[in-house]
Amino acid sequence: MSVNQQAHTGPPYGQPQPGYPGYQQPAYGGQPLPGVPQSQYGAYNGPMPGYQQPAPPQGSLRAPPTPGAPPPASGASLPSGHLAYSQFGHGDVQNGIPASAAPMQRPPASQPFLPGSAPTPVSQTSTFQQYGPPPASVQQLSNHMTGMTIGSTTASGPPPAGLGYGPPTSVPPVSGSFSATGSGLYTPYTASQGPPPTSMSQGLPLAQPPFPGQPISTQRLPTQVPGFAPPPSSTGIGPSSYPPTTGAPRPPTMPGPPLPGQTVAGPPTSQPNHVSSPPPPSTMAGPHPGPPMSGLHGPPPPTHPPQPGYQMQQNGSFGQVRGPQPNYGGAYPGTPNYGSQPGPPPPPKRLDPDSIPSPQLNELPPQQKPRHRIDPDAIPSPIQVIEDDRSNRGSEPFVTGVRGQVPPLVTTNFLVKDQGNASPRYIRCTSYNIPCTSDMAKQSQVPLAAVIKPLATLPPEETLPYLVDHGESGPVRCNRCKAYMCPFMQFIEGGRRFQCCFCSCVTEVPPHYFQHLDHTGKRVDFYDRPELSLGSYEFLATVDYCKNNKFPSPPAFIFMIDVSYNAVKSGLVRLICEELKSLLDYLPREGNMEESAIRVGFVTYNKVLHFYNVKSSLAQPQMMVVSDVADMFVPLLDGFLVNVNESRTVIASLLDQIPEMFADTRETETVFAPVIQAGLEALKAAECAGKLFIFHTSLPIAEAPGKLKNRDDKKLINTDKEKTLFQPQTSFYNNLAKDCVAQGCCVDLFLFPNQYLDVATLGVVTYQTGGSIYKYAYFQLETDQDRFLNDLRRDVQKEVGFDAVMRVRTSTGIRATDFFGAFYMSNTTDVEMAGLDCDKTITVEFKHDDKLSEDSGALLQCALLYTSCAGQRRLRIHNLSLNCCTQLADLYRNCETDTLINYLAKYAYRGVLGSPVKTVRDALINQCAQILACYRKNCASPSSAGQLILPECMKLLPVYLNCVLKSDVLQPGPEVTTDDRAYIRQLVTSMDVAETNVFFYPRLLPLTKADVDSDALPAAIRNSEERLSKGDIYLLENGLNIFVWVGVNVQQGLIQNLFGVSSFSQISNTLSTLPVLENPFSKKVRSIVDMLQVQRSRYMKLIIVKQEDKLEMLFKHFLVEDKSLSGGASYVDFLCHMHKEIRQLLS
């Protein structure tokens, strides 16, 4: 079996799943997918039961760039005994969906080995502590043993190169069960007992593999994280770690005991079925080695004398150390070089978690007390998880016909086929299998939440929700709970009535909606009606769904431009006016309309407001000034809001005149609240909803309602009063926001501050009306205009619903209790938004109010009532069905960490409004420790407390949580302003899962590794300084910024090709765009930047960072696996800290 074969964890999709009666489908939805081969899911693209593994895909072995070592040849082939490693990513247990339990064929290179069919090696008397009861039957065990070698190296050849052995030069392991012999093997669980495994914690460390015939794994073996392990009770010490993969011998490091599940090797004699742990081949250099040493008969030759009797431990991971045992040979000493060139020794830098006790350390002689270190490659890698999900789930469409399916990760490109549940582009959940009782939910501490993006943009290949028109009677709804007709409603009595799937009430089917049922109880028009067969669809709303029982007018856009001294002097006013001349032709419009129905108006302001009459019959625009800002009114009705095409010449004339009129202004003070009031009054007078686009530059200190003072105070950081920095300084804006929501007046705010502006207060109205804030600190025309204009264009053109109300209904047993996002709530159930655009999400938390049943599952229905940009009143409905479980293991197997982090970040960012930041941070750490401790206690098999065991689909929870804790809101560095923190806090609160994913763990791409001939992005690398090489150029993006980092030793030719200058010193770090040069490298890098810009909802600022330059400090802030300047822990240290917290909870 493959060395990094995953434990088999449950039946493949095509077989009935235990506990889910009746789901027996060939593919996902009960119907075979058109154009997809029938046998598509073995274990998510793992091998089908009984099939030989296919040859590895060409070029699939990718390694991170390491200084000084050439990358592996891209098509390098593996020896025949090998599985292509991409076959078994964590995709097998992709996010916890059970993978195949069927026995797999071994590759031909190894002989099938059944227990008892070969002699046990003599020297292995007390090799293995068996956990738990012996296996039920030999047959059962042999199935497991052929189907799963616990990460072991069988005689089938060496592990494929590049699979996560210890030193940092190596690639992070691919599968959740680590390659056997090297650092960080994980002992995965078998499927023989209890619920299938969820824990594998990507390779934390070392357990020497058992040999395939031992009946070891009737109990699930835990996933270990480097080293946290005291000795098991077996005697003897076996090699558990390897010298560097470079082929250079490594001096002996800290000895330690074997870990549970580890074989204890006697003197290496020639044993056909027990491999004396061959060393890993060099990961980086040279061709892939052939099978080492003729099937490994006989011990590999030592290259330097072993330390007598001590086991070598992976990079000194912790574990307690024992004295030498009699009769046992020393650890395997060094790595022979199997035909691969030696690479450089691993860099010495390792992080040391001194927090973990090593009780017997004192027994060592002084020279043998090295500091604890963990290899960063031996801990779960976000890059690896993302890559595995892409390769396992990116090729097949995600068909939504089955209840409780965990979708592919947000980082995977996949197509969605709606067959009854809403697409994950609209709704993602923290778990797709929720506990049946509130006690179980409390015990696990996993929050049950959905991140809903009701108007999400779909890729062109996917169908937009159908619009259903039921005429004057409107949509069919349940009489009691008012849920809308959906695929889960049950028709009874021959189709004359239906039973509500949310509240079980029976409702008469209206005569016009009646249809007969077929022999299965489905209506015969099932496939003709979107609301019966699809998860997402729209209804045309009747007049009963409209304000004051009359249909709405089309919305209006009002542009309100600050013309104070700063705005004029920086060139901003002229820039806005120039852009609006062309942008007004691109206002959003309904599908096939020739022109937009949206009307526009214009206001300029400083200490007073100027309204403009741009009626089409005028030759020149007229200006009216309102200087009584304390009592705001709109001085004209007719001619303020106009149709762009009718008034085109007057508008163009106005936009030419504004920059000239204010060119010599000396007015530096501004007002702010009266500007919003003016826009609100204009929309009221026009009896329509709409959006205000406000371009504002300074703290509003002029005498007027909503006047603010500068209250910025860095001294409050880390005190109990820090929370006041996030709160508005006056309640005036909250009341104004409430009036705006009532009218459907949404506010988008473009800020251009040169100093403190009080975003926490100015943003209140934007935030509560569902608007967006954009901030351009120290705005300079030459560097910032691209970003501002792109943001403005997108903001004006994007799809938006006005006067929106959203309600989330749930089936009996759970209810929506808490909401996060940019909106206003006047009661406990309705989320009200003056405007809701295609980028905004609303996060909803659910709590139990009764028991749920495994049979019926749980249902959510999100209903959004809104006015389209053409003035049409619509209802958009999204439905989602989830599974329910009585076993905690099922909950942990169906969680989605990215969504969980999205929820936790929003929860924490709201927490800072009312609690000291330290309290919020501690609560986050505590909740995550409880989630993981509950898993450890209830789902993982018994093992020593020294092991950190993580659920497979939550193995990235610690690294991502650490990123949230280190973010500017919760742990600001000295250079982060109060306004930045308030801005980020508001931004994150309405981000979707894809945006929080890249925001907290940025994407880092080695540009010099990009293939200029293909469209593909280069493979991402982990966010740590030790992954950067001085001779390369890297790109880092987090959704707000793009950094291009240039190493000091980059070849002159590359610098010339990318920047058009001849040396490193000539590169300008003030560039805001890359120069357009006619060469393949320049084209490729610019196309990558463009590709990333298109994927994000905001235009990212491009920043050029030269190594050892002052900007490098800013860049390093985003290398989130390292320690941060503001005191944030490195990933390794945080993992140790989490482990300590978990142990405390368990003890």
CB 161 within 8 Å of CB 181 = no
Query: What DSSP line would sit under 107-146, residue for residue?
Result: PTTS----TTSSPPPTT-TT--PPPSSPPS-HHHHHHHHH
Is 262's pLDDT higher than 80?
A: no
Beta bridge partners of 579: none
- Average pLDDT in the 513-530 region? 95
3-state SS string for 167-233 = CCCCCCCCCCCCCCCCCCCCCCCCCCCCCCCCECCCCCCCCCCCCCCCCCCCCCCCCCCCCCECCCC
Place of tokens 């010449």: 649
Query: What DSSP line would sit under 740-761, residue for residue?
Result: HHHHTEEEEEEE--SS---HHH
What integer pLDDT is reported at residue 920 of this predicted model? 97
- Average pLDDT in the 269-295 region? 40
For 445-467, b/e burial (b = at least 16 CB within 10 A) is: ebbbbbbbbbbbeeeeeeeebeb
Distance CA 1134, CA 380 (A): 13
Distance CA 1134, CA 1127 (A): 12
Which of 274, 254, 255 lies closest to 266, judged by CA? 274
Place of tokens 């806090």: 985
CB 437 within 8 Å of CB 455 = no
In three-state secondary structure terms, 920 is helix
What integer pLDDT is reported at residue 509 of this predicted model? 97
Which of 450, 461, 465 lies closest to 397, judged by CA? 461
Identity of residue 227? G
| Top-confidence range, 193-197, 292-296, 322-326, 1099-1103 | 1099-1103
Which residues are CB-neighbours of 44 under 8 A, at least 6 positions away?
13, 91, 92, 94, 97, 99, 392, 393
Kindly report, residue by residue over 387-434, the tens digit of the pLDDT: 999 999 999 999 999 999 999 999 999 999 999 999 999 999 999 999
Query: What DSSP line would sit under 670-703, residue for residue?
Result: ---HHHHHHHHHHHHHHT--EEEEEEE-S---SS
Confidence of residue 347 (pLDDT cuts 50, 70, 90): very low
Structure tokens at 1111: 């900007």
Is 130's pLDDT higher than 60?
A: no
Identity of residue 1024? S
Distance CA 96, CA 176 (A): 11
- Average pLDDT in the 721-750 region? 97
Distance CA 560, CA 724 (A): 29
What integer pLDDT is reported at residue 372 of this predicted model? 53
Confidence of residue 165 (pLDDT cuts 50, 70, 90): very low
Distances (CA, A) of 531 to 425, 515, 868, 872: 18, 14, 20, 20
What integer pLDDT is reported at residue 707 of this predicted model? 96
Is 106's pLDDT higher than 80?
A: no
Structure tokens at 514: 């009646």
Is 239's pLDDT higher than 60?
A: no
What integer pLDDT is reported at residue 592 of this predicted model? 79
DSSP state of 349: -
Give the CA-trace dihedral at 440, 443, 446, 450, to 10 degrees: 40
- Higher pLDDT among residues 747 and 53, named by residue: 747
Which of 295, 92, 79 lies closest to 190, judged by CA? 92
Least confident residue range of 335-339, 622-626, 1122-1126: 335-339
User: For the purposes of burial, counting CB atoms within 10 Å of the CB of 657, is it exposed (0-12), middle (13-18) or buried (19 or more)?
Assistant: middle
Which of 659, 654, 700, 652 lies closest to 676, judged by CA? 700
Which of 92, 81, 36 lies closest to 55, judged by CA? 81
Kindly report, residue by residue over 1081-1116, the tens digit of the pLDDT: 999 999 999 999 999 999 999 999 999 999 999 999
For 1009-1033, b/e burial (b = at least 16 CB within 10 A) is: bbeeeeeebbbbbbbbebbbbeebb
Which of 938, 949, 929 lies closest to 261, judged by CA? 949
Beta bridge partners of 467: 538
Which H or E run includes 1043? strand 1041-1046
- Higher pLDDT among residues 201 and 584, named by residue: 584
Least confident residue range of 58-62, 498-502, 890-894: 58-62
What integer pLDDT is reported at residue 545 of this predicted model? 95
What integer pLDDT is reported at residue 943 of this predicted model? 82
What integer pLDDT is reported at residue 336 of this predicted model? 37
In three-state secondary structure terms, 1046 is strand
Beta bridge partners of 491: 498
DSSP state of 340: S
Least confident residue range of 264-268, 605-609, 712-716: 264-268
The whole-model pTM stands at: 0.72
Kindly report, residue by residue over 671-698, the tens digit of the pLDDT: 999 999 999 999 999 999 999 999 999 9
Which of 456, 468, 469, 467 lies closest to 416, judged by CA? 456
- Higher pLDDT among residues 652 and 41, named by residue: 652
Kindly report, residue by residue over 203-222, the tens digit of the pLDDT: 343 333 334 334 333 333 34
- Higher pLDDT among residues 54 and 1122, named by residue: 1122
Place of tokens 């099937």: 295
Is 543's pLDDT higher than 50?
A: yes
Distances (CA, A) of 648 to 645, 653, 871: 5, 9, 22
Percent of the chain with pLDDT over 70: 68
Is 582's pLDDT higher than 80?
A: yes
Distance CA 344, CA 286 (A): 13
Which H or E run includes 861? strand 858-867
